[in-house]
Amino acid sequence: MKQLVSKDWLVFLVYFLIVAGYGVWIYYRKRTKETSTQSFFLAEGQLAWWAIGASLIASNISAEQFIGMSGNGFTVGIAISAYEWIAALSLVIVAVFFMPIYLKNRIFTMPQFLKTRYNETVSLIMAIFWLFLYIFVNLTSILYLGALAINNLGGGGNFHLIILLLAIFALLITLGGMKVIGYTDVIQVSVLIIGGLATTYLALTMVSQKFGMGSNALAGFNTLMKEAGDHFHMILDKPGPDAPQNDVNRYLIVPGIAMYFAGQWIVNLNYWGCNQYITQRALGADLRTARTGILFAAFLKLLMPVIVMLPGIAAYVLFQKGELQSEMSSGGHLNADNAYSAILGFLPAGLKGLSLAALTAAIVASLAGKANSISTIFTLDIYKKYFNQEATEQKMVWVGRMAIVAAMLVAIFFTWDDMLGIGGEGGFTFIQKYTGYISPGIFSIFILGMFWKRTTGSAAIAGILVGFATSVFFNNFAPGIFGQETMLYTAFRNSNGKLEIPFLICMGWAFVFTVIVMVAISLAGPKVNPKAFELDSKMFRLSPRNLAMVVTILLILSALYVRFW
């Protein structure tokens, strides 16, 4: 693999100086307001729509996409794009239906939503759940996968140093508050898109060259379609009894049409609509600004598979042709998560530095956003309520910064020697699978809490417990108790010979049973819960501009699914 040269480091240094300098300028521009919790955690509603949209994408797209989704592109193909394209549709739903409810009721954190709609107990339980999830699943996986990719690109040997440097870079941005994060994310997402598109273009050109068609990116794409036709189907067929193990492994990750009736919606709507890490960017804005920013993010989401998935398919085709053999290996075994860094290693000097900057931008933006959300939940929903109700604004900002540092230190500790086994699971799958243990319960209490006035606090507590219990049951015990084939699921033998139900199917059934339990409990309560939100059809009306954006997104999505079904 080609090493980074002075041109690459120069490009990367310019990127670092621009982001750091702009962050410092934003911070000192209104330094007098920085002791305000509204400013530190929510940017006081001063993020423009384009900053909200850019920040959503910069914080979402990280190592799990660049590394994990490229790895899934290598093994699964375009079907993994469902996570991105259904996310775009989910963002439309969040913009139209979720944000009016949040903003009308002045919701600033997700635990606050649960307290307002249900009770203090539900709020506390979920605040603790979210803190554990953000620290032990999200922060750790972003650090691990990011350090792995950058280490591979640099030639190896600096994995632990890279972990520290990524954490420090993210801390520099995060400690400035949401305003700094939001506006530096505009630069981050610009670098991410430009560098990502450059990487994809050159990956396609490389494929074209290797197959004797000259330097033609379009010819390279057509070659991918020809040489890896099975990688260009959005809907995978259900494997039969004699199916190859590779087909089974792919189906376990993206189980065909079934996932569109099960967990795909749950994971996306929960992530984009019920997640502090994401909604925080829009909660300080007015409805029109928030909606436009979220819809702008949906447009950017449509583009993401080109950046994070196509290089993985390109790596697959090149690997099948005998290229990238050493680059795709780890410890003597094929590692699909090396696909993106394998492609980066062959970029020309300078462009490799730009791609490294794009990758770093994605990682740092996600780390910063996640750390800020950890800080917000801990400070506003735990420290302020249970430790120091008289805390001043300045004190809470100080506590928030200490929470950021503590969370990052914990993430570094668990990432150092991959104590959580992120590498063994596969990066993107690790995050989706373990987030899925609590997603059905969370989404159930949010969706029923918003749109069914009868839902009670007791039902919400039961929903949290049932959602988690049924997720664990379906993921770990159901095949051993009920067998391989039932009316609810089909289990397949994974690479280790163990029966496994696709985790998106597990998530779907966990959601169904959670809703059934919550509805049954709520029916025993009053017909209208006193804490239910007042809904008005006028809340959901769209401006002409937003309506035009929604229609355009739906048309593009329809065309993509028709073409690659």
Percent of the chain with pLDDT over 70: 88
Among candidate residues 499, 471, 461, 501, the one with its CA nearest the CA of residue 122:
461
pTM of the predicted model as reported, rounded to 2 decimal places: 0.83
| Average pLDDT score, the chain | 82
For position 1, what pLDDT does the model report?
Answer: 45
CB 253 within 8 A of CB 502: yes
CB 115 within 8 A of CB 122: yes
Checking if the pLDDT of 562 tops 60, the result is yes
Give the model confidence (pLDDT) of 481-505 as tens digits: 998 889 898 999 888 888 889 888 9
Half-sphere exposure (Cβ direction) of 543: Cα atoms closer than 13 Å: 10
- Domain 6-26+48-423 classification at class level: mainly alpha
Q: Which own/partner pairs from 216-221 qualify as long-range (CB within 8 Å, at least 24 positions apart)?
A: 220/314, 221/310
CB 119 within 8 A of CB 311: no
| Measured distance CA(424)–CA(560) in Å, rounded | 32
Which of the four pLDDT bands, split at 50, 70 and 90, describes residue 295? Answer: very high
Four-CA torsion 44, 50, 56, 62, nearest 10 degrees: -130
Q: Which residues pair with 492 in a beta bridge?
A: 500
Q: Which of 60-64, 334-338, 455-459 has the lowest mean pLDDT?
A: 60-64
Domain extent listing, the chain: 6-26+48-423
Give the model confidence (pLDDT) of 506-548 as tens digits: 999 999 999 999 999 999 888 888 888 888 888 899 999 999 9
Q: Which residue has the higher pLDDT, 455 or 388?
A: 455
Q: Which own/partner pairs from 450-453 qualify as long-range (CB within 8 Å, at least 24 positions apart)?
A: 450/97, 450/98, 450/101, 450/117, 450/533, 451/535, 452/522, 453/527, 453/528, 453/529, 453/532, 453/533
